[in-house]
């Protein structure tokens, strides 16, 4: 059994030097992101940049969405162990506010990004004509506004209420959060599913998969827990959070990360296997595009880097408790999450696999702006809850 633990003392703020360092990095990435956006927007083929930007936008948005899912689910389950990690996820979920702004360039680039059904030729496509009740410009933008506002408002409200408790210590605020968790999970599940349909699956409007929304959801959870793992490793190195962020909490987050690796692989395989077994040309062509003309390299990279390698790296207890091994696994999963989104989007724009500089610009633009927003928004706030009623339960967390 571990030694007796006590709640951390102090104001919960990051050490001044670390907060200053992260703020500089965030603002620096913001500047790089703006430059990358301008270079891609005006110095490259706009259709290609729009596709690359969509990949980057989905990368930052899915991380923030996964973080918000974690926050809401912990309140729904009335979990006590996760008090410390939950605050980090509350921080990350604020990226959804940046996502609402970052979607504006996609509105400008929409006719080039979703050109298969927004273009004039769609009016003469018998399949798309039958889908116009759903796939039309006006309804598409209305749905996007609903998605982005729902996510941003939920992220702000859950974080704001949690921060209020830091000051008041009012237990009823926890009950308020728990009551709101169930409808919030339903709202997040529906909006995430349909956002996946709208923004990614509709890039090839002749193809569909009823499990595609779950695939996007799996990527949200996996990427957010990878980011959480990296931050916890850094916080524990600097003893931030004390008994609210111990090796036991790191172990629990590592178990979540391992579970989502398996969940992502299961959903991906289920989607592939059902389409492969049915062998309907209209469905199999989507996977064919991701195997021919060099795309098989990316497909194999996903299988090895998104499942085989992290599965073997995270399966042992030691790996989840070792900060270097956990950080290495998390960094790998963040990288292959971007590769996964690239694999979903880019074959719709380039039949042959050609990696270009604009693909990096499309990633740096959303990442930079989101990093700058988070640096401004959260680094001056406590890194862990100060008066949460579940703190006594959290400090007793232990993996036997």
Query: Which residue, 346, 363, 336, is CA-closest to 293?
Result: 346
CB 353 within 8 A of CB 297: yes
DSSP H helical segments within 169-242, as ranges? 171-199, 212-237
Question: Angle at Cα 257 formed by Cα 256 and Cα 259, nearest 5°?
Answer: 65
Tell me the mean pLDDT per 10 residues along the chain, length 400.
Answer: 65 90 94 93 88 97 98 96 96 97 96 89 85 94 98 98 95 96 97 97 92 96 98 94 94 97 96 89 89 93 96 96 97 98 95 91 95 92 94 89
Q: What is the pLDDT of residue 1?
A: 41
pTM check: above 0.85: yes
CB 356 within 8 A of CB 209: no
Q: What is the pLDDT of residue 6?
A: 73
Phi, psi at 383, each rounded to 5°: -80, -5
Q: For residue 48, give Cα distances in angstroms to 51, 89, 115, 272.
A: 5, 32, 12, 27
CB 132 within 8 A of CB 124: no
Encoded tokens for 386: 């100060």
Q: What is the pLDDT of residue 2?
A: 47
* Widest Cα–Cα separation across the chain: 72
Dist. CA 389–CA 23, nearest whole Å: 30
DSSP state at residue 393: H
Count of Cβ atoms closer than 10 Å to residue 165 Cβ: 20
Q: What 3-state class would DSSP assign to 175?
A: helix
Angle between helices 95-102 and 137-168 (to 10 degrees): 160
């Amino acid at each position: 059994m571990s030694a007796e633990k006590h709640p951390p003392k102090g104001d919960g703020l990051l050490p001044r030097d670390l907060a200053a360092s992260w703020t500089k990095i965030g603002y620096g990435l913001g500047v790089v992101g703006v430059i990358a956006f301008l270079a891609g927007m005006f110095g490259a083929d706009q259709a290609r940049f729009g596709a690359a930007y969509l990949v980057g936008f989905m990368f930052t948005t899915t991380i923030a969405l996964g973080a918000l899912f974690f926050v809401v689910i912990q309140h729904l389950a009335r979990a006590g162990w996760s008090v410390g990690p939950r605050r980090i996820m509350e921080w990350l979920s604020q990226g959804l506010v940046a996502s609402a702004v970052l979607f504006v360039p996609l509105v400008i680039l929409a006719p080039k990004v979703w050109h298969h059904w927004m273009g004039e030729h769609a009016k003469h496509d018998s399949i798309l004509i039958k889908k116009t009740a759903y796939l039309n410009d006006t309804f598409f933008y209305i749905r996007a506004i609903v998605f982005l506002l729902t996510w941003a408002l939920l992220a702000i409200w859950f974080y704001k209420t949690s921060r209020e408790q830091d000051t008041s210590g009012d237990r009823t605020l926890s009950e308020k959060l728990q009551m709101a968790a169930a409808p919030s999970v339903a709202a997040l599940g529906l909006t995430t599913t349909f956002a996946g349909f709208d923004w990614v699956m509709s890039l090839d409007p002749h193809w569909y998969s009823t499990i595609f929304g779950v695939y996007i959801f799996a990527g949200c959870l996996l990427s957010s827990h990878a980011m959480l793992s990296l931050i916890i490793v850094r916080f524990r190195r600097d003893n931030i959070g004390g008994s609210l962020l111990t090796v036991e909490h790191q172990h629990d987050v590592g178990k979540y990360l391992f579970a989502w690796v398996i969940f992502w692989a299961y959903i991906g395989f289920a989607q592939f296997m059902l389409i492969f077994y049915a062998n309907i040309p209209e469905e199999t062509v989507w996977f064919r595009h991701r195997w021919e003309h060099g795309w098989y390299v990316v497909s194999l990279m996903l299988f090895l880097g998104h499942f085989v390698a992290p599965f073997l790296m995270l399966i042992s207890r030691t790996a989840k408790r070792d900060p270097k091994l956990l950080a290495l696994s998390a960094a790998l999963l963040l990288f292959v999450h971007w590769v996964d989104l690239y694999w979903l989007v880019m074959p719709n724009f380039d039949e042959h696999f050609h990696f270009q500089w604009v693909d990096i610009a499309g990633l740096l633009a959303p990442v930079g702006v989101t990093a700058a927003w988070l640096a401004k928004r959260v680094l001056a706030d406590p890194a862990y809850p100060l008066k949460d009623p579940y703190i006594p339960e959290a400090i007793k967390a232990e993996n036997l």
